[in-house]
Amino acid sequence: MAVSNAYHLKVLLPETKQSIWGIRVSNIRSSHLLLINGQVVGQQGQPSSHPEEVIAKNVPYLSFANVTGNQVDIVLQIANFDFAAGGGVFGTITFGPIQETLASKRSSEYFDTTAGSVLILFSLYFLLLYAYNRRFREFIYFSLSNLFAALYLVSGRERVALDWFDLSYDWATRIQFLSMLALAFTYSLFMKQIVLPKAKDTISRVLLAHISLSAITVLLLEAKQFTFLQSVYIFFCWMTAGFRWRSSDFHYRWRC
């Protein structure tokens, strides 16, 4: 969905000696310009009302503004012609004292980094277990599930992965979609392996085939094209993982 808008907000500040304030931006698709009292304090990409002039970029950040007086004029210019599923403000914009906004930003980044690291360690652990005993194929599927879960986490939310790698908007979006699809795919294989390793499951195979086809479209198309199918990808991910979980639950109850 193409979007080109501007938002204007006036904020009345309490009586305080503080002059430096923090503003935290989490998720604005897919480009924006942020001004406080007429001064540019934040920007991602290049917003414009003309699609050919827009440069897409969406990375969370924390910025600071020197404010005099007790009134703040905040102007936000947004343009989205690259994320077809919808553009605009999709996350909170926090304005407040430096210490609080900085602590909030760091806490969120630490959580993503720590959780991602734990998932990668689990992935390596089960990969080693599989290398030690290749009869248990569920180990490799569970290892890959943890790996793709970590990749999805660090490429979303605070997008800490973009601090490590200089990726274009298309590739950053593509990696997030691919990791989501791969997570659903490998988790489904893991559940099948531990519950019904030798059973022929036509429905599950069809769903996995759709996941594979979805991954191919993400690889071949541009972000502005494959994001149009976001709801389709999410539907098949939930159907694939959910169907496998329900199948395993039914099999467990039947055996009991």
Domains of the chain (ranges plus CATH)? 3-91 (2.60.120.260), 107-255 (no CATH)
* pLDDT the model gives residue 216: 95
Q: Per DSSP, what are the bridge partners of residue 22?
A: 64, 96
Residues in the chain: 256
Q: Are 98 and 64 in contact (CB under 8 A)?
A: yes
**Phi, psi for residue 196 in degrees, rounded to 5:** -130, 70
Across 36-47, b (16+ Cβ under 10 Å) vs e yields beeeebbbbbeb
pLDDT at 197: 59
The answer to whether the CB of 185 falls within 8 A of the CB of 211 is yes
Q: State the DSSP code for 171.
A: H
* The pLDDT value given to residue 78: 94
Q: Is the pTM of this model over 0.75?
A: yes
**HSE (side-chain half, CA atoms, 13 Å) at 121:** 6
pLDDT in tens, the chain (256 residues): 566 889 999 999 888 888 899 999 999 998 999 999 999 999 999 998 888 899 999 999 999 999 888 899 999 999 999 998 888 899 889 999 999 999 999 999 999 999 999 999 999 999 999 999 888 888 999 999 999 999 999 998 889 888 788 889 999 999 999 999 999 999 888 887 877 655 556 766 777 888 899 999 999 999 989 999 999 898 888 887 766 555 544 344 434 4
